[in-house]
Amino acid sequence: MSTSHRLRWGVCALLILAAAACGGDDDDDSAATATESTEAEGPTGSITVFAAASLTDAFGEMADRFEEENPGTTVELNFGASSALREQILAGAPADVFASANTSNMDQLVDAAAVEGEPQVFVKNELEIAVPAGNPGNVDGLDDFGNADLNIGLCAEEVPCGQFGREALANAGVTPAQDTDEPDVRSLLTKVEAGDLDAGLVYHTDVLSSGDAVEGIEVPDEFNVIASYPLAALSASGNAELASAFVEFVLSDEGQSILESYGFMSG
């Protein structure tokens, strides 16, 4: 009796919550279309940018600067492994722009006709050896990645930094004796920072972002592999004008200098 009353109230509360949530969505949509229709000069409204995790800091600043220079616009950012973002976009996630850490994920979107126009390489990144502060394993180059006595980490073959890392090691003629194949570069860095790995093969920008916990050792140019990051507006975008304006901004001198300040090489 009293329990069934309580249950009924609980159900009502749930229904009200659900209704409120739906109502909220509708409001957002109408607000978005309203701003779109009151176009003054230049694009307005909002877009969502899906970007590779390694772009987190750089694209945060990129979006801020873009919004500053284009009043009335909002850039939402969603970061993750490029492959995970690719899956989300293919499954219909509301993305307007995709910035991938490698070409193969972008190519799959091109094949699925999810991309507007031709993707453009907007930035490059090179590999670097990350060692814990103080370099306890006395690592001095790619050769040490074959040393079974050291704790060595790579990214897994399935993710871009793992592919590039293996290419670089193959270029140097080193068969890696790694103790772990990490699912992404951040998780590899965590173990280097904690001192549990003596060395890991990551991107130059990751070493910069780790601050004092990690030291970088350059990979010689003749062995190094350069990662190319492609960028494209997506065909499912609800605001194609703003999406392409953002792509242009990233490719502009200003956008490129933001990326360079985070250690990327200009595309």
Among 60, 80, 94, 195, binds another protein (CB under 8 A): 195
> Which CB atom, from 73 or from 151, has the smaller least distance to another protein?
151
Q: Which stretch binds another protein (CB under 8 A): 37-45, 56-64, 184-192, 259-267?
A: 184-192
Residue 36 interacts with another protein (CB under 8 A)?
Answer: no
Q: Which stretch binds another protein (CB under 8 A): 2-10, 25-33, 49-57, 69-77?
A: 2-10
Among 28, 64, 158, 248, binds another protein (CB under 8 A): 158
**DSSP β-bridge partners for residue 45:** 73
> Which CB atom, from 116 or from 182, has the smaller least distance to another protein?
182
Q: Which stretch binds another protein (CB under 8 A): 34-42, 57-65, 172-180, 257-265?
A: 172-180
Q: Shortest Cβ distance from residue 138 to another protein (Å)?
A: 15
Contact status, residue 78 vs residue 51, Cβ threshold 8 Å:
yes
Residue 81 interacts with another protein (CB under 8 A)?
Answer: yes
Contact status, residue 130 vs residue 213, Cβ threshold 8 Å:
no
Residue 60 interacts with another protein (CB under 8 A)?
Answer: no
The one-letter amino acid at 190: T
> Which CB atom, from 229 or from 262, has the smaller least distance to another protein?
229
Contact status, residue 118 vs residue 109, Cβ threshold 8 Å:
no
Residue 17 interacts with another protein (CB under 8 A)?
Answer: no
Interface contacts to another protein, rule CB under 8 A: 4, 7-8, 11, 81, 83-84, 87, 132, 151, 153, 156-159, 178-183, 187, 190-191, 194-196
